[in-house]
Amino acid sequence: MNTAHRTTVALYGGAFDPPHVAHVMSVAAVLSAYPVEAVWVLPVYLHPLGKAPTPWVERLALCRDAFAIFGDRVQVREDERLVGGAGRTLDLLHHLQRGHQTKDFRLVIGSDQLTIRHKWHRFDEICRLAPPIVLGRPGHPVPPPFSAAITMPQWSSTDARAALARGELPTWLPHAVRARIQRQGLYGTTARGAAADLDDA
C-alpha cells in the first residue's frame, strides 16, 4: 500500500449528553498538541455499558452545534449508528479502518475511562489499532504507562443535566447548545424566555 499520503485522525467518542465546553476544549487541545489532521466526533448510538442517553438524533445535532467553530478540521460523524451492534469501540475501529485505509487513527480518551478499561472489550487491541490520546480528568490520575498532556476542567454532562432539570442554564454549555436545548425543550427545559436567558448568560 502507498503510504505517502497517510494522515492521522483523532477519534473522539462519547455520549455528549449534552456536549459542554470541556468537550470543546478537549478537541482544541488535541488539534493543537498532537500531529493530527482532524478530529472526528462520534456520538455514541448504543452505549455498551447500558446507559440510556437522550435520543441519538438530538445529541448528534447538539454536537454539530458545539463543534461548528472548528470548521472542516472537526467532523461530527454518524459512524456509531452505521456500525450497529453493541456499540463497542473495537467494532467501530474495524468499521473505520475498512472504509478509510489511508488513515491512521488515535483514540481520545479521558483518564476516568482508564480506571474502568477492564470493562472495555479487548482494550489492548483497541490501543494497538488506535493508540490513545489521554486527557486528564480531575480526581482520576493517569495510570502508567499512559500520560496526559493536559487536564480538563471538572464540568460533566451529568452535572449539566442536573442543572437543566433544576431550571438552570449552565454557562459552561456552548451558546449554540444552550439555544438548541431551550428551542427544542430538551432535558426538561421549556422554550419560554429562551432569548432573554441566553442574552443574560
Q: Where are the domains of the chain?
A: 7-154
The total number of residues shown for the chain amounts to 201
The cell 476542567 sits on which residue? 153
Task: Give the count of beta carbons closer than 10 Å to the beta carbon of residue 60.
Answer: 20
The partner residues of 135 in beta bridges, in order of sequence, read 110
Record: fold of 7-154: Rossmann fold (3.40.50)
Name the nearest CA neighbour of 148 among 104, 113, 121: 113
Task: For residue 53, name the pLDDT band (cuts at 50, 70, 90).
Answer: confident
Condensed to tens digits (0 to 9), the pLDDT of residues 64-89 reads 999 999 999 999 999 999 987 677 99
Indicate the SS3 state at residue 187: helix
**Residue 48: is its pLDDT beyond 70?**
no
Q: How confident is the model at residue 171 (pLDDT cuts 50, 70, 90)?
A: very high
User: Residue 80: in which H helix or E strand, if any?
Assistant: helix 79-83
Query: Residue 19: pLDDT above 90?
Result: yes
Yes or no: say if 45 and 76 are a contact pair by the CB < 8 Å rule: no
Answer whether residue 47 shows pLDDT above 80.
no
CB 134 within 8 A of CB 147: yes
CB 12 within 8 A of CB 108: yes
Percentage of the residues of the chain whose pLDDT score is greater than 70: 88
Q: What is the pLDDT of residue 84?
A: 75
Q: How do residues 85-143 score in pLDDT, each as one tens digit? A: 677 999 999 999 999 999 999 999 999 999 899 999 999 999 999 999 999 999 999 98
Residue 90, C-alpha cell as written in the block: 473495537
In the numeric block, the cell 491512521 is attached to 104
Give residue 193's pLDDT band: very low, low, confident or very high (50, 70, 90).
Answer: very low
Taking 70 as the threshold, does the pLDDT of residue 49 lie above it? no
Residue 14 C-alpha cell reads as 462519547
